[in-house]
Amino acid sequence: MRKYLLHVLIISFVFIAIPITSATGGSITLRSYYRNLSVSEVHSMPNVSMRVRDEYGFSGHSIINHNYNFKTIGGDKVVVDKATGLMWHQNGSDSSMRYKTVKKWIRKLNKRGYAGYQDWRLPTVEEAASLLESRKKNTAVDEIRASMYIDSFFGDESFIWTGDEFDDGSGDAWGVDFRDGSVGTTTGGATVKGGICLHFLHKMDGKCFFVRPVRSVE
CB 161 within 8 A of CB 186: yes
**pLDDT higher for 8 or 126?**
126
Per DSSP bridges, beta strands 159-166 and 36-37 are: parallel
- Position 162 pLDDT exceeds 70: yes
Q: What SS3 class is residue 126?
A: helix
Considering only residues 12 and 197, tell me which one the structure prediction assigns the higher pLDDT.
197
pLDDT band of residue 199 (cuts 50, 70, 90) is very low
92-110 pLDDT, tens digit per residue, is 999 889 888 999 999 999 9
pLDDT attached to residue 88: 98
- Is the pLDDT at 87 greater than 90? The verdict is yes
Q: How many CB atoms lie within 10 A of CB 131?
A: 27
The pLDDT score that the predictor gives to residue 22 is: 37
pLDDT at 137: 83
Q: Rounded to the nearest 10 degrees, how much is the dihedral formed by the CA atoms of 101, 116, 119, 106? A: 0
Q: Percent helix, strand and coil across the chain, each rounded to 5?
A: 20, 30, 50
Given a contact cutoff of 8 angstroms between Cβ atoms, the answer to whether 200 and 170 are in contact is: no
CA atoms in the 13 A half-sphere facing the CB of 49? 8
User: Under DSSP, is residue 3 helix (H, G, I), strand (E, B) or coil?
Assistant: helix
Q: Whole-prediction pTM value?
A: 0.80
DSSP code for 46: S
pLDDT for 156 equals 83
Confidence of residue 15 (pLDDT cuts 50, 70, 90): very low
Taking CA atoms, 207 is separated from 63, 102, 160, 195, 199, in Å, by 29, 12, 11, 10, 11
CB count within 10 Å of CB 192 equals 15
Q: What would the pLDDT profile of 27-65 be if each residue is shown by its tens digit? A: 899 999 999 999 999 999 999 999 999 998 999 999 999
Q: Is the pLDDT of residue 144 over 80?
A: no
Cα–Cα distance between 139 and 159 in angstroms, integer?
13
Q: Is the pLDDT of residue 180 over 50?
A: yes
CA-to-CA dists, residue 187 to 57, 98, 121, 132, angstroms: 11, 12, 22, 19
Percent of the chain with pLDDT over 70: 73
pLDDT above 60 (res 142): no
Quickly count: other Cβ atoms within 10 Å of residue 66's Cβ. Answer: 19
Give me the pLDDT at residue 114, please.
98
Q: What angle do CA 52, 56, 59 make, to 5 degrees?
A: 30
Task: Return the closest-CA partner of residue 87 out of 60, 112, 123.
Answer: 123
In this predicted structure, what is the pLDDT of residue 208? 82
* Pair type for strands 76-81 and 208-209: unpaired
Q: Whole-number mean pLDDT of the chain?
A: 81
